[in-house]
């Protein structure tokens, strides 16, 4: 008798890898130069319809990966957006064909700065080219076509993922019927850049960063990378969420006051920093944060010409307590798109959890996504 799949789960999944660009036919980069080969790690959930009109591309955030839903063999925890993706969930895999892929510049199977450059047989390191948002889009577009999809029913993503969706839909409105831009920004503030600048500094100042040659030297800038993550993590949660979770509680194992882990919140941050080391790469942190720093699509002349000619259905969401890319960031996106004649739905979702809310099963958030995606599918079915 076959095992009954867990209700609401896409079940067992594996990450596939495909070479989308080669050394001979490389990716042409936004800032000039080329990159090849380019491999991309991806997962899909659900079934592509015969008309290939039910595909939804999920774009991950800074430290995400292709594993958005279901379980890898032997894993205890599912993919990072498993609360959203699965049978009967808002991104219902009984009806949608969901694509999730690791970003180039990342470190979970797609080509990035810690990949080996076949031309030299050495890790790229800081010789890896600087990327722009359009490069990230170009690779995911190529994957989409590779999977037989020429028009996405929807692209959605939070944070950096939402920024990628924005660029994708602005540049190729005919290929993205619905764009869901969540807890994102059309341009970072000085404060946003400042936090990432200090994180990068912590990484590069670690002696084991070794000018980006840490892999060749058999070391890893664990200290710097964990400090970067600890600091960034503070900005992912609202002040109230940290108070609610930890307040001023002492760390249960605190003996004498000192400079170690005296408070529960210190233990939490320490854990976040350490756990991050198992899944993320220091060079990817540098490259992908710089993609965000330089992202400023509305500053480009003609940025809105394509969508003026061929509008996209937009859903822009912010979270009330997000102080990284808060409602101000979303409102700016909404105002700009509306001035370009776009149909835009906007919601500020009440949530106490700050920026991280986009990863959580906040009820009004999921209800809004479900309604928007259902309507999108109904439009296609008509």
Q: Considering the rule CB under 8 A, would residue 215 count as an interface residue with a second copy? A: no
By beta-carbon proximity to a second copy, the closer residue of 50 and 258 is 258
E strands in the chain: 16-21, 27-28, 34-35, 38-45, 55-59, 85-86, 91-92, 97-101, 116-117, 122-123, 152-158, 176-182, 313-319, 344-349
Q: Tell me if residue 159 is catalytic.
A: yes
Q: Considering the rule CB under 8 A, would residue 247 count as an interface residue with a second copy? A: yes
> From the list 19, 201, 271, 339, which residue makes contact with a second copy (rule: CB under 8 A)?
201
- Contact region with a second copy (CB under 8 A), list: 11-19, 93-101, 173-181, 229-237: 229-237
Q: Tell me if residue 355 is catalytic.
A: yes
CA separation (Å) from 104 to 2, 204, 290? 38, 21, 13
CA separation (Å) from 251 to 228, 229, 234, 236, 245? 22, 20, 18, 21, 13
* Touching a second copy, residues 14-43 (CB under 8 A): 31
* Catalytic, out of 185, 322, 329, 351: 322
CB of 102 to a second copy, least distance (A): 21
Q: Tell me if residue 127 is catalytic.
A: no
By beta-carbon proximity to a second copy, the closer residue of 44 and 226 is 226
Q: What is the CA radius of gyration of the chain?
A: 21
CB of 203 to a second copy, least distance (A): 9
- Extract the tokens encoding 190: 């000085």
- Contact region with a second copy (CB under 8 A), list: 11-19, 58-66, 143-151, 202-210: 202-210
- Extract the tokens encoding 65: 């990966």
Q: Considering the rule CB under 8 A, would residue 126 count as an interface residue with a second copy? A: yes
Q: Considering the rule CB under 8 A, would residue 252 count as an interface residue with a second copy? A: no
| Secondary structure letter of residue 175 according to DSSP | G
Spatial separation of the C-alpha atoms in residues 365 and 369, rounded to whole Å: 6
- Extract the tokens encoding 9: 């789960």
CB of 125 to a second copy, least distance (A): 12
Active-site annotation, residues: 159, 322, 355
């Amino acid at each position: 008798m076959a095992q009954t799949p867990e209700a609401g789960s896409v079940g067992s999944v594996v990450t596939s890898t495909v070479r989308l660009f080669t050394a001979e036919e490389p990716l042409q980069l936004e800032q000039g130069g080329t990159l090849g080969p380019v491999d991309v790690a991806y997962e899909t959930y659900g079934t592509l319809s015969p008309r290939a009109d039910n595909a939804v591309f999920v774009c991950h955030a800074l430290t995400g990966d292709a594993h958005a839903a279901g379980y890898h063999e032997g894993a205890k925890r599912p993919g990072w957006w498993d609360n959203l993706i699965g049978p009967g969930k808002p991104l219902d895999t009984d009806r949608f064909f969901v694509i999730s892929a690791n970003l180039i510049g990342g470190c979970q199977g797609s080509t990035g700065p810690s990949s080996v450059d076949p031309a030299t047989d050495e890790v790229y390191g800081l010789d890896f080219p600087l990327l722009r948002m359009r490069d990230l889009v170009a690779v995911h577009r190529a994957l989409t076509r590779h999977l037989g999809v020429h028009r996405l029913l929807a692209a959605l993503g939070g944070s950096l993922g939402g920024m990628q969706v924005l660029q994708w839909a602005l540049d190729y409105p005919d290929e993205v019927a619905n764009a869901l831009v969540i807890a994102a920004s059309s341009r970072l503030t000085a404060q946003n850049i400042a936090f990432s600048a200090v994180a990068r500094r912590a990484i590069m100042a670690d002696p084991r960063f070794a000018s980006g040659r840490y892999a060749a030297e058999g070391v890893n800038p664990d200290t710097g990378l964990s400090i970067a993550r600890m600091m960034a993590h503070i900005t992912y949660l609202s002040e109230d969420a940290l108070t609610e979770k930890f307040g001023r509680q002492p760390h249960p194992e605190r003996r004498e006051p000192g400079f170690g882990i005296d408070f529960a919140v210190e233990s939490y941050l320490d854990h976040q920093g350490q756990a991050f080391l198992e899944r993320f790469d220091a060079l990817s942190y540098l490259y992908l944060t710089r993609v965000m720093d330089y992202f400023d699509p509305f500053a480009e002349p003609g940025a809105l010409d394509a969508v003026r000619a061929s509008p996209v259905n937009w859903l822009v969401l912010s979270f009330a307590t997000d102080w990284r890319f808060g409602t101000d960031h979303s409102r700016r996106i909404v105002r700009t798109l509306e001035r370009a004649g776009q149909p835009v739905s906007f919601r500020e979702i009440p949530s106490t959890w700050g920026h991280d809310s986009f990863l959580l099963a906040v009820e009004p958030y999921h209800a809004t996504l479900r309604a928007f995606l259902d309507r999108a599918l109904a439009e296609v079915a008509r």
